[in-house]
Amino acid sequence: SAVISQKPSRDICQRGTSLTIQCQVDSQVTMMFWYRQQPGQSLTLIATANQGSEATYESGFVIDKFPISRPNLTFSTLTVSNMSPEDSSIYLCSVLGWDYGYTFGSGTRLTVV
Amino acid sequence: AQSVTQPDIHITVSEGASLELRCNYSYGATPYLFWYVQSPGQGLQLLLKYFSGDTLVQGIKGFEAEFKRSQSSFNLRKPSVHWSDAAEYFCAVGAGNAGNMLTFGGGTRLMVKP
C-alpha cells in the first residue's frame, strides 16, 4: 500500500491565522481525500482532491475556508483559513490504492488558541 | 446515502478474553467494508477489508470480520485480546465503485484490563 507523509504532525496556531497541511505520497494516486476528526469524534470527509480538477467539497465545508491544491499525482495541500478554536481537530489525508485499500496519513493535530 | 453505526462507544475486556466489535451499515448496493484501528496520537491503520467473495475476512494482528448481508453487519472479532489492542476502532463503508470516499462509524474505544 502507499506510504503517506503528512506535515506538520501538530501545530498550535493563533486565531485568525491560516495553516497549510501537506500530504506527500510515495506513488502516483488518482484519488486523495481530506478528513477532519474533531476531538473525541469520528472522521468526516472535507473534500475529494483529484489532480487536474477542482476539489469536491462535502456539505458544510467550503473552498474559502479549506482551500485545497493538487498540483500532481503525489502531492496535495489543505489550508485551514482564518482559524478559530472550533477548527481544533486532527486533519488527515487519505489515498485510494491500487488494491482499493484506503491509506491514511498520520494526521495533523491542530490546536487553535 | 451510505451510513455506518457502531452501537458500542466503549468496550472493556480482560486480556486474553475474546472480542467482538459490532458494525452495521446502510447501503443500497454491494458495499466495500473496512475496519481501521487508531492508537492514541496515531493515524489510522487498516485491519482488514471486504469487497466480495468469502464473507469471513482475515486481517492483521489476529483480527477477522464476517460480512452478513442479511443483517447488514460487518462485526470485528479477535479470539484473544492483548493489552496492545487498546485503541479506537472504526468501521467504514465505501460505495461499490472504487474511488468514492469512506463513511465512518462513530468508533468504539476498546480498553483492556490486565
Tens digit of each residue's pLDDT (9 = 90 or more) over B12-49? 999 999 999 999 998 877 788 999 999 987 889 999 99
Name the residue among A90, A22, A19 with its Cα closest to residue B42: A90
CB contact under 8 A, A42 and B106: yes
Which chain A residue has the Cα nearest residue B5? A42
Which chain A residue has the Cα nearest residue B91? A42
CA B16 to chain A, closest CA, distance in angstroms equals 27
Cis peptide before A67 (omega within 30 of 0): no
B104 interaction partners in chain A (CB closer than 8 Å): 42-44
Tens digit of each residue's pLDDT (9 = 90 or more) over A73-84? 999 999 999 999
